[in-house]
Amino acid sequence: MKVAIALLALITIPNKSWCHLVPVGVDRTKVVIWEYWKITDGAGENEMLLYNPMETPIEVVFRKWYQRKPGEPERIYTEEDVLLRINKIKPDRYALFATATSEIRDLHRGLIEVLVNGKSAGLYGMPAEKKYPKTRIKNGIIINQNSNTGNFLEYEIVYEALVFTKHENLRARVVYLQEKFLSSGFVTGEKHNPDGIGLADIAVENLEIRNEEGYDLCFAATGKPGGFEVTLVKPGSPRKILWRGLMHLKDKGTGQASAFNIPNEISFTGKKHYKKRK
């Protein structure tokens, strides 16, 4: 099976008289937007991280996005449209936001345009409601949304730690939320593994490992709740966030591509930056 990954998603925006397909996704070469659940002593909080993958500082702005109908003039945006602004993130640095997702949802229920250094980097689709993860751990982070698009995943990614260092390989667990799916796994090729992340010490529960073309590691469901654990072998990259492409096929006509983020030098216990807009 040959696999191609696109990190943009098409979603349908309903309207009273018409609908339109809108490409949703933020260019991850400009900024990485990562929503996750921080679990401390068994209790979870939905938080967000912004990471600068560029070689120059960036200013990031989230602002309300409005569907523009044919014939309408271009909208003039004001500060009332701004949902979040961070004036400077240095190269290979990140900012943590403890309550931003809740604050933004209070102000806006719709697509968000993301500006990097004053230019649009794409649309982010923050869901109207949070979805608490089903997996239970004492401490760590759980990811159930795709970075840079915001859409919910068909699985949960679990890291049972809050502080990560670049000299240590990581143990990750993936828990599938559906008992039936066609295939799911890490895609092969430099395009989908730009950081050269290796896979080792694989353990599975109620999954079948398959040898599929286009995958370095591929699983199929067995009709029971399943998941896998894998050690992510880092190549020594100094960057604070690494990633691998993962493709999940629910059936032959429905697939979900995601960037499997790997914290390389991140402390999720650090200072949180967010001021509620007045």
Listed residue (172, 66, 57) closest to 116, CA to CA: 57
The reply to whether 46 falls in a domain is yes
CB atoms within 10 A of CB 246: 23
CA distances from 242 to 113, 183, 233, 262 (A): 24, 24, 11, 5
Q: Residue 236 — pLDDT band, cuts 50, 70, 90?
A: confident
**pLDDT at residue 275 above 70?**
no
> Which pLDDT does position 20 carry in this prediction?
55
**pLDDT at residue 2 above 50?**
no
Q: Residue 7 — pLDDT band, cuts 50, 70, 90?
A: very low
The reply to whether 263 falls in a domain is yes
Distance CA 241, CA 262 (A): 6
The reply to whether 43 falls in a domain is yes
The reply to whether 76 falls in a domain is no
Q: What share of the chain is helix, strand, coil (3-state, %, to 5)?
A: 5, 50, 45
**pLDDT at residue 162 above 80?**
yes
Q: Residue 1 — pLDDT band, cuts 50, 70, 90?
A: very low
**Residue 216 domain boundaries:** 9-66+82-267
The reply to whether 172 falls in a domain is yes
The reply to whether 230 falls in a domain is yes
Per-residue pLDDT tens digits for 90-100: 999 999 998 88
The reply to whether 155 falls in a domain is yes
**pLDDT at residue 251 above 70?**
yes
**pLDDT at residue 132 above 90?**
yes
Q: Residue 164 — pLDDT band, cuts 50, 70, 90?
A: very high
The more confident residue out of 59 and 17 is 59
What total number of domains does the chain contain? 1
Residues 6+ apart with CB under 8 A from 113: 62, 63, 64, 65, 120, 122, 123, 124
The reply to whether 275 falls in a domain is no
* Residues 151-173, mean pLDDT to the nearest whole number: 95
The residue behind tokens 């896979």 is 199
**pLDDT at residue 5 above 90?**
no
Per-residue pLDDT tens digits for 72-123: 888 889 999 999 999 999 999 999 998 889 999 999 989 999 999 999 999 9
Distance CA 131, CA 174 (A): 17
Q: Residue 278 — pLDDT band, cuts 50, 70, 90?
A: very low
CA diameter of the chain: 58
Q: For the whole model, what pTM was predicted?
A: 0.90
